[in-house]
Amino acid sequence: MADLDVLNAIIAPEAEALGLALVRVAFFGGESDPTLQVMAERPDTRQLTIDDCAALSRRISEQLDALEEAGKDPIDIAYRLEVSSPGIDRPLTRRGDFADWAGHEAKVALKEKRDGRQRFNGELVGIDADDVVTIEDKEGVQHKLPFEAIDTAKLVLTDKLIAATIPLSADGADELEEEGQD
């Protein structure tokens, strides 16, 4: 289908040009709904505005359209482009994510079983200099997981995470706009 390394190499500079950090590039949906998903954020706020999404979507589309016109399309099928923020229960994809979100609950799935297990849930302790992620389960057992062995990881939506995540703006959140009323 699509080579994610090639797509990352195309998309990362476009995000950086807008002052954004690329969180994840994924391609999913199979043949029925192929989707190129791009998650990015502002490094200072860890959020993304609608305007940021639109600007990044335009830049990515322009680059991919130019490659298609040149006969170098990295995606050989029709697909949908989805640009978004990582959200509050964000995926953890970069080494720094495991340090930045230490103290919060996470779910980690490994590429292959390790000590008879493939999935780990618990409080994220962090990542050390040797790229080993530590997660402590509810029984207090710490599991040491090499970063390279991780397939997927994401934060779990908890009250603590909600309290730690401050929206860019709550303007208009308490206003209700009704259509058709004069």
Q: Bin 86: left if φ > 0, else alpha if -120 < ψ < 50, else beta.
A: alpha
Mean pLDDT along residues 21-37:
92
pLDDT for position 61 = 97
The fraction of the chain above a pLDDT of 90, given in percent, is 79
Contact 74, 67 (CB under 8 A): yes
Q: Is 103 helix (H, G, I), strand (E, B) or coil?
A: coil
Q: How confident is the model at residue 2 (pLDDT cuts 50, 70, 90)?
A: confident
- The predicted model gives 56-80 an average pLDDT of 95
The per-residue pLDDT for 38 is: 98
**pLDDT attached to residue 100:** 93
How far is residue 179's CA from residue 93's CA, in Å, rounded to a whole number?
41
- Three-state DSSP at 55 gives helix
Domains of the chain: 4-84 (3.30.300.70), 95-164 (2.30.30.100)
Q: Is the pLDDT of residue 10 over 60?
A: yes
What is the pLDDT, as a whole number, of residue 76?
87
The encoded tokens of residue 167 equal 């929206």
pLDDT at 180 over 90: no
Q: pLDDT tens across 31-54, in order?
A: 888 999 999 999 988 889 999 999
Percent of the chain with pLDDT over 70: 90
Average pLDDT, the chain: 91
Q: What is the rounded CA–CA span in Å between residue 25 and residue 39?
A: 7
At 9, the pLDDT band (50, 70, 90 cuts) reads very high
Interval 98-151: pLDDT, tens = 999 999 999 999 999 998 999 999 999 999 999 999 999 999 999 999 999 999
